[in-house]
Every structure is written in structure tokens, then in C-alpha cells.
Structure 1
Amino acid sequence: MIQQIHIFNYLCIYDMTIDLSCSGMKAPAHYEDYEKLLFVQHGKSKNRGRNNRIVPVLSLYGANSSGKTTVLKAVNELINIIDKGLNYENFQPNRIKCYSRDKQYTEFELVFWKNNDKYDYLLRYDNERILKEELQMNNSDVFLIDNNHICKVLDAVAKIGDLEKEYRTRCINITNNCQIKTFLSVMADAFPGVSSSINVPKEYMLNDILILQDNQIPFLKGINKLSTVYGNELSEEERESKALKEIITYLGKLDLGIVDIEVHKERPLSGVRDVLSSIERKDKIDGDVFTVHKSEDGKDVRMKLYNESRGTQLLLGLLGFLLYSIRMKKTILVDELDESIHSLLLIQLVRLFKEKRLNDKAQLIFTVHNTDLLAPDLLSVYEIGIIRYDKKNGSSFSTLADIHDIKSGDNIRQLYIDGYFGGVPFPYV
């Protein structure tokens, strides 16, 4: 689970830290017996405390163009650099703020937990090179690379043959002597058995974080994703069938009037992930999917999925990914989770991550405008984030927990709409 995201000098963000811990929360008596998940406790038994409590949900509210989507883009860009190396064309610093010459770079830092170990990964780069790369595990250095120099390295990693040679051969562009690939990814791939302190964080960031910058997910892709949670002892067709049945079960609970879904296909579903390039192709694929309703006389009525409402199509695609995240204990980031989805259905989607009977260590981070989620008894003040923007400070973040004069019983929704917390536009026509 992610505990903290730090972004410096990226698009509209000057310097922002998003904290998903709830260290200030005094856990109520017998909170272990609550049906609602207040937080997830991380750390090994002797080191557990308030600082290791992470919220399962974080909603990001704010006006249009305040920087909400940029947060997701930043995490996605960090993962892309780890996966594929530095792409000079993707260097997008803030163009409004005037930085001093020594700060003409972008920096991302991600603090997260995996297997009750805490990792802190930092990456600093400009339009030419990776300037700094650092990894800590449980507050101890695993490695530090600063301006093409290996400054610190864990003993287990140091056992890699000629480490300096390996680093320069695999990470450095020899034409300009600039680091363009991350030490983390390259060493984890080249020497997978050397140290879990490198392998685990690399695998976490590439495989345990899902980012949906566009929540228009074709339904078949959602089935394909959810089907991977079932064991390899089942055939591909059996896994897809189980995924379909699970989604249909949740659709019944969401009261959409859909009693069944039929998939007619001439090719395996596994090919769906490669056919997302256009709306036209999406329609062609989803044309193989039929929703089933009941007529007045009890007969089945079939409709092509693309004839359903936009909100229904979005919901069907999202469900597969949300259920996958919960079952596999992943962190999922979704932009505009509320797009075309009714408020009452939106609340139920968030509740998937708030109910102990459903969720263990999965995490949902999402941008949203719908204020019905601010009703009492759903999200805590640590799970409601406000992003504001002004030209002087760029985008800034705080949770309602940072606003100390909120009282029990306050109408949070009305206070937000009235602009008390900021993060709202003040339009006039």
C-alpha cells in the first residue's frame, strides 16, 4: 500500500506531498470489531504504531485544472521510467514557476509497504539524465546513485561482481555518459536472486499499482483482468467464466436491471488487451457482449452492450479492475471515478474498499467531483483530500484531518460546496 507520494516540479505541481497515513487518528475502542475498515496496520509486530496506519481509500477533490489528474500522471510517469527508462520527450517541468538554476529537475518519491516492510524510492531527473536514484528499506539505505556515482549500496547488492562496471554498462548511455535506466529495474532484472530488497520494490511498483487515467475500460478487458485471480489449475475459459459470474453477482447487488451477461466470441478473450486503440474497435469488441434483461412477461431480452447507457458501460469495465484489485491486494488509481455513474452506485464502489469482509490490503485512490461521498459515515477526514491551485504555490494538497477546527457533526459536504476548504471554483456567468 502507498503511504506517501511526493511530486516536485511536474506540470502544474511545484512541490506536493500526498500523505495517506493516519498517524493522528486515535483508534476507537474495539475498532477491530468494526465492519468498516478505518485503516490498515503495517509493520512487524514490535514496530507497529500510528505511523504505520494507512488509509484504504483516498478521494481527491478539487476544481477543474487544479492538479488532481496530474497526481495520477506523475505516478504513471515514475512507473514508466522504472519500466522503460528515461524518455527525454516526457520531461514536463512546471513552466509557470521560476526555479533557481540548481532546481531545474523533476523529482518523484514513493513511500509504500510490501510484506510488512517499508520502502522509500526517490527518482530525480531532467531532460538529459537521471540525476539521483535512492532506495531505502525500513529507513536503511539499499542504494544511492547520485550524478552517475554509486554512493551507497547494501552489502547483498555489493556482491554483484564488478558492480561499477555492471552499472555503467547497463544504466549509462555511453554517447553522453548519462544514466537513462534505473539502477533498481536493471539490477533486479539482471540479478534476480541477489537481493529481495531490490526485487520486491521493483515488482511492487510495476505490478501492484494499477493506474486508470481513462476509466473507459472495455468490459472484456475487465473480465480478462479479473480472470487472472483464479489459479492456473483452471483453463483460460474456466477462469473467464468464473470472472463473468462474479461480475454478474455484483451487478445484481447494484440494481441495474441486468440479470445476465452473454459473451459471444470467435476469438479468445486474452487478445482483448491489445485492441484498445480506438472507440471504433472498442465497439466492435463489445458488440460480442450482450446484457440480458427481463421483459414484463418474464422472458429474456438481450441488448448489445454498446446500446446500454454510457454509465453502465463504464461501470461494467471498472468492476473487473476494482474486484481484481481487492482480490489481489493491489493499489488502484482511477481518474474521475464518478464519471457518468449514479451517486448511489458510486458510494457502493467505494464501499468495496471500506468493508472488512471484502477488503484486506487493497487501496483505492481516485479523483472525484461528486460530493455525495462526503456524507457522514463513509469516509474519514483522513480519506478526503483537497487539491487547490494558485499561480504562486501551484497545486497543493491537504486532507480534512489537517483542518483542525472541523467539529463532530459538521456538514462536510455543505462546507466543501461553500468553499470553506477551498478546492472549488468560483464561477460566474
Structure 2
Amino acid sequence: MLVQFSVDNYRSIKDKVTLSMMTSTKDKERCFKIRNYELLNSAVIYGANASGKSNVLSAMSFMKNVVLNKMKVIQSTDTLPHDPFKLNTATQDASSTFEIIFFIGTAKYRYGFEMDTTTVYAEWLYADEKGKEAKLFYREADEEEYVNPSFKEGYQFFDKKNLKINISKNQLFLWKCDQNDGEISKSILNWFKYINIINGISHDGYINYTMQQMEHEDFRTEIIKFVKTADIGLEDIQLEETDIPKDMLEKLMALEKLKENNIEVINFKQVAINTYHRKFDEQNNAVGREVFELDKEESLGTRKFFKMSAPILNTLQEGKILAIDELDASLHPMLTMHLIKLFHDPKVNTKNAQLIFTTHDTNLLKPHLFRRDQIWFTEKDVYGSTHLNALAEFKDVRKDADFEKEYIQGKYGAIPYLGKFEF
């Protein structure tokens, strides 16, 4: 479970911003308890276009990719990704810092690092199992470093005489601890895999995952049941395999390479997703079903809802964290609300999955749907830097206030200021 995420000097974020999933009001609903912490089931981020709300989720994705070494940094000459705030001379060449606090079971961890393209300047890991935080390791360039002797998977790489960790400057110590099957480091890496981050506009990026899940009958049944709850007229969804015509194969460059290696090309398959709708006669009696091809004959909203269904169900079933940028794009407000309520329903969300998303849909700004500490706003200052604040931080906002009306009126900021235009 996610407790808190912080970042500074990343894209439009110049100074440190923090997104917290801890409750900060006395409301009782839409949260769950772990140890003595109350954590929120969801959080929504509002803001004007280009205010930086997408960059908050992008920073989380960036940290995940670094921790999981998606860029494959192996040699000392390999470069790390770096995307600093470029509108200030003090930050354009400076390092960026990321920190995340989370639970694995009942153990709470705080992990973070500071880096640029060539160097990890600092990295730290703290663990709290019974209410008191213990330092497992801390590294900092040109300073004394520390590894807790009880953290055996990391202590073996610690030079006790010089108080330095033996590691290349462009690598995370967490990676090295995992190389020898470190129990804690492996559990942390696996936790980062439990963060699903998807784009609500470019939803074709995760269709492959949905199609893979459709091959499992149990999961396919759940997807169909889930899609039917949206009342978009679908009776069934099937994967259909057909042979690719040979004249089409002739146009593929890959075929020429296969021919060069004397590999015979036979039975190449293409997979399409077909939807089934009820068909009626002139007296409106059901007479059968009509087949539609999902990507050609269904609406954009239907396609998006289906393609998002697998990561949403997977998140709920396994208690993961799902971050969606522009959740409401191409979806009716009622459908968006339907998805959110799944995470708020303890009968559905039995594993305490968490949803974090950005949106422009002010219809969602209702007290019956979100608490004040679940609603966040991004706003840029005159220097182009993004600031992030929760509604709970504003004074004199009642828990039953008309959040939507007050937001539109500009009481919370985070709305565009429109200039006058004329010919």
C-alpha cells in the first residue's frame, strides 16, 4: 500500500511536492487501516492544462522504471535517465530526488534516491516494523556512508574501514543487494511491480495485456461481467484467430529475413477482438447476435472501457496501486464514477487496492464521492513551477460543501486564467 510519494526537480516540478495517501480529516469512509495508519482508497488530481498534474504521475512512473532498472544500466559508463526542471538556471543541471513510503505486509519502508545522468548522489532505505524507524542503509557521495549490520544482504558490500559502500556511482545499491537474492530488496522490487501506471488517452498501450488475460477463461468471465456492468450493450467478447493472408505477408519485411534463413512461412495468425450484441426482428423479438469488430465498429469509449478492464480488475484482485492519467477521457461521467466506486466498495476492493488519477471532470467533485483529503490540485506559479496541494489544506471548507461549484469559482485555484482574444 502506498503511504506517500515525494519528488523535486522533475519536469515542471521545481521544488519538492508530496502526494499523501494518509487521511488528514476525521471522515470515516473511503479509507482502510493498517497498523495505526489510515490510508485512502483513492486520490484525484485536478488542475488546468499544463499545470503539471500529469507530471506527478509521470514522476512516480519514472521512479518505478529506475528502481526496476528498465534502462538496463549495467556498466559504469551507462547513463541514467534525467528530466530536470529547465526553467531555472539553478535546477537545469541539478540532480532530482525521489522518495516513496509504502507498506509490504505490516512493515513500513521509506526508500529514496537523488540522481542525475551520471551519478546517484544519495540513496536511503528505512524500515519500520513495530512503530520505530530503523536505518537499513544510507549512501551519499563524498560523505560517510552506513549499512546496518542486521541488513545482511547489503552489509557484505560495506567497507567498514572507510565507511563507504562498494558500488559504481551510476547504480542503485538496491540493485546490488538484490543480486544475491536479498530478501528485503527483492520484496521492494516486487512492490514496485505492483504499481500499474496507464495513460487514459493512449489506451492502446495496454491492449496486449488485456488480450493475454482474455486467454484465461476465469479472467475472461470476470472481464465480461465487469464490462456488462457498464451497460454499453455488450453480450459477449471473444478473441478470434485467423490466418494472415499470404499476399499480406509478402509485404512484411520480416518475411524476407525468414526467407534468407530458409525458414518456411506457414500459418501466421492475427488476433482480433470481437464483441457480440443482441439482434432483434421487426417486432423487437431477440433473434440472435451480431458480431462487431471492437477497433472498427465500437465507440472510442467502449474500446477504452474494455481495454482498461484487465488492469483495473488485476489491481482490485491483487491489491495493487493503479495510477491513470486522464481517466475521464472518452468516458461518460457515469462510467468514470462507476470505476471509482469499485475502489471505494469494500465488498469489491477486498485487498485494499488504491486508485490515483488525474481528470478535468468536475462532476466528480462531490462530497459523497470524495473526501477533502482525497482531492488534490496542481497549479503553476509565475516561474513555471508546479505546486501540489490537497483540498484538506484549505481553510473553512466544510466536508459537505459544494466542491465543484467552489472549484469552478476559483476558490481553490488550479483553474485556467483565460485572456481576452479578438481580431
Please confirm whether the aligned pair reaches a TM-score higher than 0.5, indicating the same fold. yes
Q: Which runs of 5 or more residues in structure 1 are unaligned?
A: 29-36, 173-178, 228-236, 268-283
Task: Check if 1:71 corresponds to 2:56.
Answer: yes
Which SS does the other structure have where 2:56 is aligned?
Answer: helix
Give the 3 Å change call, closer, same or farther, for CA 199–150 of structure 1 in structure 2.
Answer: farther
Which SS does the other structure have where 2:25 is aligned?
Answer: coil
Deviation of the 1:191 alpha carbon: 1.7
Cα deviation 1:220-247 (Å, max 9, x = unaligned): 52242x57xxxxxxxxx5xx12211111
Give the 3 Å change call, closer, same or farther, for CA 251–96 of structure 1 in structure 2.
Answer: same
Could you tell me which of 381, 385, 402 is aligned with 1:390? 381
Cα deviation 1:52-82 (Å, max 9, x = unaligned): 2111101111011111111122112112222
Task: Give, as a single letter, the amino acid of the residue that structure 1 aligns with 2:6.
Answer: H
Q: Is the 8 A contact 2:153 2:177 kept in 1?
A: no
CA distance in 2, matches of 1:134, 1:318: 35
Cα deviation 1:115-173 (Å, max 9, x = unaligned): 011111111012321100001111211111111767111223347685147x999841x
Q: What is the aligned partner in structure 2 of residue 276 from structure 1?
A: none
Cα deviation 1:394-424 (Å, max 9, x = unaligned): 1111111111211243211111112111111
Q: What is the aligned partner in structure 2 of residue 272 from structure 1?
A: none
For 1:32-71, list aligned pairs within 5 A: 37-43=29-35, 48=36, 52-71=37-56
Q: Which runs of 5 or more residues in structure 2 are unaligned?
A: 244-267
Q: What is the aligned partner in structure 2 of residue 202 from structure 1?
A: 189
For 1:20-419, list aligned pairs within 5 A: 20-28=20-28, 37-43=29-35, 48=36, 52-84=37-69, 88=79, 90-99=81-90, 104-138=94-128, 139-147=133-141, 151-158=145-152, 162-164=156-158, 171-172=167-168, 179-188=169-178, 190-192=179-181, 194=182, 196-205=183-192, 207-213=193-199, 214-224=202-212, 226=213, 237=215, 240-265=216-241, 288-297=272-281, 298=286, 299-306=288-295, 307-359=297-349, 360-392=351-383, 394-419=385-410
Q: Is the 8 A contact 1:16 1:395 kept in 2?
A: no
Q: What TM-score results when the alignment is normalised by the length of structure 2?
A: 0.81
Number of residue-to-residue matches in the alignment: 375
CA distance in 2, matches of 1:17, 1:390: 13
Give the 3 Å change call, closer, same or farther, for CA 100–292 of structure 1 in structure 2.
Answer: closer
Give the 3 Å change call, closer, same or farther, for CA 204–148 of structure 1 in structure 2.
Answer: farther
Give the 3 Å change call, closer, same or farther, for CA 136–393 of structure 1 in structure 2.
Answer: farther
Which SS does the other structure have where 2:90 is aligned?
Answer: coil
Structure ID, larger Rg: 2
Deviation of the 1:180 alpha carbon: 1.4
RMSD over aligned Cα atoms:
2.8
**Which one is further off, 78-87 or 355-364?**
78-87
Which SS does the other structure have where 2:229 is aligned?
Answer: helix
Give the 3 Å change call, closer, same or farther, for CA 159–372 of structure 1 in structure 2.
Answer: closer
Q: Which has the higher helix share?
A: 1
Q: What TM-score results when the alignment is normalised by the length of structure 1?
A: 0.80
Which SS does the other structure have where 1:156 is aligned?
Answer: coil
